[in-house]
């Protein structure tokens, strides 16, 4: 597996892992507590206490609006993207660029608040490190998809790679 194959596997894992994370953790900022199992609520409270996540603990309106975007727009996309990466479907290129640009844009105010807000506490660098992959992986996804019109290669090259190299 080449470097792009490893990167694509990381993206696939990111999409798959993000499904339960969005459903059980992030969406607690927008849905009533009774919709979540007690262990998920306890895990989120542990995260808030351990990492000093003032955004999740206070849920400012601007942050809640971003979580609504994650729940309503990104969550369905995670399923579509996981399917497309498994199938190595080139049609996912433009949706990935749109998704990645959206997420990178939302992460800028989140990380700025975490690092520079008056509410930022002593855990800010560690908290920023927890949130950083949600900036860096979508940014890498945008670059990965922007540089190639056929990110998974042509159907012909995909068939050839499955059957092995041609010999003369």
Q: What per-residue confidence (pLDDT) applies to 3?
A: 72
Summarised one tens digit per residue, pLDDT across range 154-167 is 876 556 555 555 55
- DSSP track, 47-66: HHHHHT-HHHHH--HHHHHH
Q: Which two tokens stand for residue 161?
A: 């790679």
Q: What per-residue confidence (pLDDT) applies to 121?
A: 86
CB-CB contact of 135 with 104 (8 Å): yes
E strands, 19-161, in order? none
Q: What per-residue confidence (pLDDT) applies to 8?
A: 97
Which helix (H) or strand (E) segment is 1 a member of?
none
The model carries a pTM of 0.88
Q: How many CB atoms lie within 10 A of CB 76?
A: 10
- DSSP track, 91-107: GGHHHHHHHHHHHHHHH
Summarised one tens digit per residue, pLDDT across range 85-123 is 999 999 999 999 999 999 999 999 999 999 999 988 899
Whether the per-residue pLDDT at 46 is higher than 60: the answer is yes
Share of the chain above pLDDT 90, in %: 86
């Amino acid at each position: 597996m080449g470097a792009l194959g490893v990167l694509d596997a990381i993206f696939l894992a990111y999409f798959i892992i993000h499904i339960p994370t969005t459903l059980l953790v992030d969406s607690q900022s927008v849905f009533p507590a009774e919709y979540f199992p007690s262990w998920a609520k306890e895990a989120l409270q542990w995260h808030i206490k351990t990492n000093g996540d003032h955004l999740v603990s206070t849920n400012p309106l601007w942050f809640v609006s971003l979580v609504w975007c994650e729940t309503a727009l990104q969550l369905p996309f995670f399923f579509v993207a996981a399917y497309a990466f498994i199938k190595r479907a080139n049609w996912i290129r433009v949706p990935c660029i749109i998704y990645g640009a959206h997420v990178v844009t939302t992460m800028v105010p989140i990380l700025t608040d975490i690092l520079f807000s008056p509410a930022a506490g002593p855990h800010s660098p560690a908290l920023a490190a927890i949130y950083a992959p949600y900036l860096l992986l979508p940014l890498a996804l945008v670059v990965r998809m922007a540089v190639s019109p056929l990110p998974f290669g042509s159907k012909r090259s995909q068939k050839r790679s499955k059957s092995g190299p041609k010999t003369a």
